[in-house]
Amino acid sequence: MYIQTERLLLRPLNLQDAPAIQKHFPHWEIVQHLSAKTVKWPYPPDGAQKFLQNIALPAMARGDDWYFGITLKGDAAGEVIGVVHLRRDTAAGNRGVWLASGFQGKGYMQEAVGAVNDLAFGTLGFDKMVIKNAADNEASRRLKQKTAARHVATVPASHYIGGSPAQEIWELTAADWRAFRTAQEALARYCRPQAAPAALWTRRSATVQAFGHAAGKRGSRKLRGMPCRPCAVTALRPLRFAAG
């Protein structure tokens, strides 16, 4: 199962990806936010090989886990620079991600997660995703905020390699994800950027998901000319609906 986005190709991991994972994964800025129950630290020299042989590939063969290697479309070698792990086990969390340090800050993970969410809530039929992160993992929190997830709880934790004392729990429903995508499409089609921030959208809707629900119900003609609030989802700039 391959997924293409504007800049990325996501593909199932295989044993040939071990050298790339061994190069990009075992760095403190990545592993500090992961569980000591599943990741050894210091990372062993054959850690990637064993991960693929004993964990990722058997899990994919069972059919309830998907490990997507993130690669750049322009890279002929197809080197994996990160991973998105999707699974049906809600108790453990439905999604896990990591991205090589040198490729962070470019929007790659947001692009990859959006594509995997489309797959999960579309072809794979997920109704809801539960996503967890160390409470001190600000990048992971921002990723969830930018991709429509809703924070539902913060609980004590003691299993993180970096010692985070708490874990954040987030939820994303199929309905909210579809509304988020509807909002993106409506904004792209009917809005233009403003030089200054838009006036607050004073209707009850307070999130881009709510706007997406509204867009789906009201239709595009009723949305024209309506100002929208500066959205907390920073992937969508504050916009004002075009007059025509």
Query: What is the phi-psi region of residue 31: left when phi exceeds 0, alpha when psi lies from -120 to 50, beta otherwise?
Result: alpha
**Which H or E run contains 109?**
helix 108-121
Q: 59: helix, coil or strand?
A: helix
Summary mean pLDDT of the chain = 85
* Domains recognised in the chain with CATH numbers: 3-126 (3.40.630.30), 190-241 (no CATH)
Mean per-residue pLDDT for 70-92? 96
Structure tokens at 120: 């999960």
Band (pLDDT 50/70/90 cuts) for residue 137 is: very high
The 10s digit of each residue's pLDDT in 104-124 is 999 999 999 999 999 999 999
Residue 117 amino acid letter: N
- Phi then psi dihedrals of residue 10, to 5 deg: -105, 130
Per DSSP, the three-state class of 2 is: coil
Average pLDDT over residues 10-23: 98
Q: Which of 97, 108, 161 is nearest to 132 (CA)?
A: 97
Tell me the mean pLDDT in the region 38-42: 96
Give the angle 102-85-231 at the CA atoms, nearest 5°: 70
pLDDT surpassing 80 at residue 189:
no
pLDDT(59) > 50: yes
Contact 184, 236 (CB under 8 A): yes
Q: What is the mean pLDDT of residues 140-157?
A: 97
pLDDT band, very low/low/confident/very high, at 243 (cuts 50, 70, 90): very low
The percent of residues in the chain predicted with pLDDT above 90, rounded, is 74
Could you give the CA distance from residue 99 to residue 43 in angstroms, rounded to a whole number? 16
CA pair distance 23, 40, nearest whole angstrom? 15
**pTM for this one?**
0.81
| pLDDT for the residue numbered 214 | 60
Higher pLDDT, residue 184 or 236: 184
